Chains A and B, each alone.
Chain A
Amino acid sequence: MSRWTSPSLRAAACRAGVTACLTFAATLSLRAQDAPALAGNALRNRAAELSTQLAVPPSPAFALVSLEESAILRPTSFQQFATSLSSFAGAGGGFALPRAVGVELAPIFLARGKALSLDQYRAHPARYRLRLSGAIKRSDDATGSTAAALGLRLSLIDETDPRTHPDAARFLTSLAEKIVAICRRVDGPPSDDAEPGAVSCADPRGRVASLTAQLSALRASAPDSLRQGLERQLDAARARAERNQREIDAINGTLERFKQEWPGNAWNRNALDVAVAASAVSRDSLGSDPRFDVLAMWLSGARRWGEWGQLVGGVSARSARDSLGGDRHAGVSLGGGLFFGANRIKGFLQLSATAQQKRKPQGELTGGSEFYLLPGVWAQASLGWGQEAVTGHGRLVTHFALRTAFPQLLPSRGGS
């Protein structure tokens, strides 16, 4: 999950006819290790994500091959990716894949990251938000049949991404400018033995440490006037460093508040996501007799409606092989809805329809609410009417879920 506080509501909704269900899904470390726009993606608590039928899965390949979170690698660099792969080396030097493994990364962002400027990113944000996911899972049974999937997700529009949001980027820049202004107070150039690196603008030249070391090194026989002079310099350096640190702390406090409030300001911003994924299964772990299994596509969009609302729409299509008969069947789901309220409490009305080969079309109309209970705990409840897939009879649809989304809040630290 992004360091930017955000409850995440991606857990699958539980829809079970007239039976209410309770979901308690801990969504720890959901995303963002890799993708640039994770900042944007993870801080979304946007309304479109409330609806599983409309939502584009964050990692499309994992939607086709279900994996435990612990089996997923999200490398933050290609070097880290290579290191992760090397851990799969077998005893004989061969390559031994674990029973289940998934990889998700933003390849273009990773490739250009170190040299990628903010304006280059802003010129082609979708390119850098592209995320690829891949997964392999071997069954536990004796055959060792294996499923593999590949997917990609593209966020064409993501107004929750602070890098592309002009106000957010400008605000973050203005805070950085204030800290730089504190660094600028140095009274001389760096020393010959100094090395470039991270510093604290409270005391960029390390005067406090240097004077402390000088005082400690003074011999007992050193003149009192020398000692007192050093002590005075040290007191002055400490006072200056403390004053600077207080200013830096205040700036970081403003930054932290901004990050906490950003999801609330951003919940109903415009977004357009598309994803595709395909999977195949083989008879054994060696890839014998591979067969194409599922092809799926998702498209969802959200449009802000004033300060309090958001219109969302989505379509997903899927062509899958029947696991028993081997026949292929296709299905399409369409949906749209209106979400209204604020970040902490939202209401929604949603209409969806599903058409599948050899089945009667289904429709569902639901309304409900999602609301904040406690830090990290959200509740969602809905009530609606839908059609049974087989009989076509109407049915009451209820849904209740409790979700945890522990924000990865950074402690209030004073900066470097």
Chain B
Amino acid sequence: MQVIRFDRQQGALRVEVRAGWANPGAYDLILWEADSNARVMEEAGNFLNSADDSYTLPGPASAHDGRIVEAFVTITPVDEQGRYSASLRISQGGEVLGDVSVSGESAEHTVMLDLFARLEATP
């Protein structure tokens, strides 16, 4: 699992879900508690408007140490090749800390992607 490190002393963490190739789609964003099956936050969205696909994780940055941020993304590829691309971007104070992205081509009507990363605070 990809690990994304952040500064526990800095500002809030932000997560953005993005899709490429101008494909329609939707996602479910989950913030998992560290070492637990509990959901700290859950948001649903779609790619009709990218302005509302960025979320501030609740609480101070230090609270997210060990938590897992995950996005289930479903894309309906429009073009013939079934090209798709989606990413989960984590940032802090305007700086991009990491990007989990998946892209490819599919012959299916829908492509389901699972994007996730563990958040770790730097000392």
A residues bordering B, Cβ < 8 Å? 1-3, 32-33, 35-36, 38-39, 42, 76, 109, 113-122, 128, 162-163, 169-170, 172-173, 175-177, 179-181, 183-184, 187-201, 204, 248, 251-252, 255-256, 259, 408, 410, 413, 415-416
Q: Which chain B positions have C-beta within 8 A of A163? A: 22, 24, 78
B74 and A201 form a contact (CB under 8 A): yes
* B4 contacts chain A at the CB level, 8 A cutoff: no
B74 and A183 form a contact (CB under 8 A): yes
B24 and A172 form a contact (CB under 8 A): yes
B22 and A121 form a contact (CB under 8 A): yes
B22 and A118 form a contact (CB under 8 A): yes
Contact among A3, A32, A120, A198 with B22 in the assembled complex (CB-CB below 8 Å): A120
How far apart are B97's CB and chain A's nearest CB, in angstroms?
Answer: 16
Q: Which chain B positions have C-beta within 8 A of A176? A: 24-26, 46, 74-76, 110
- Give complex CA distance A37, B91 in Å: 33
Q: Which chain A positions have C-beta within 8 A of B82? A: 3
B residues bordering A, Cβ < 8 Å? 1-2, 18-28, 30, 32, 37, 42, 44, 46-51, 68, 70, 72-76, 78-83, 85, 88, 100, 102-117
How far apart are A184's CB and chain B's nearest CB, in angstroms?
Answer: 5
> Closest residue to B49 on the A side, CB-wise?
A119
- Give complex CA distance A185, B46 in Å: 18
Question: Given the interface contacts A176-B110, A201-B112, A416-B112, does A184 sit within 8 Å of B23 by beta carbon?
Answer: no
Known: A1-B80, A173-B76, A189-B70. 6 other contacts (CB 8 A): A118-B48, A172-B24, A179-B112, A189-B37, A199-B112, A415-B112
How far apart are A367's CB and chain B's nearest CB, in angstroms?
Answer: 35
A251 and B110 form a contact (CB under 8 A): yes
A172 and B76 form a contact (CB under 8 A): yes
- How many residue-residue contacts, CB under 8 A, span A and B? 197
> Closest residue to B42 on the A side, CB-wise?
A184
A36 and B79 form a contact (CB under 8 A): yes
Contact among B21, B76, B111 with A198 in the assembled complex (CB-CB below 8 Å): B111
A113 and B1 form a contact (CB under 8 A): no
Contact among A175, A190, A255 with B68 in the assembled complex (CB-CB below 8 Å): A190
How far apart are B67's CB and chain A's nearest CB, in angstroms?
Answer: 9
- Give complex CA distance A121, B83 in Å: 15
> Closest residue to A191 on the B side, CB-wise?
B1
- Give complex CA distance A180, B113 in Å: 10
B80 and A408 form a contact (CB under 8 A): yes
- Give complex CA distance A416, B105 in Å: 12
Q: Which chain B positions have C-beta within 8 A of A175? A: 76, 110
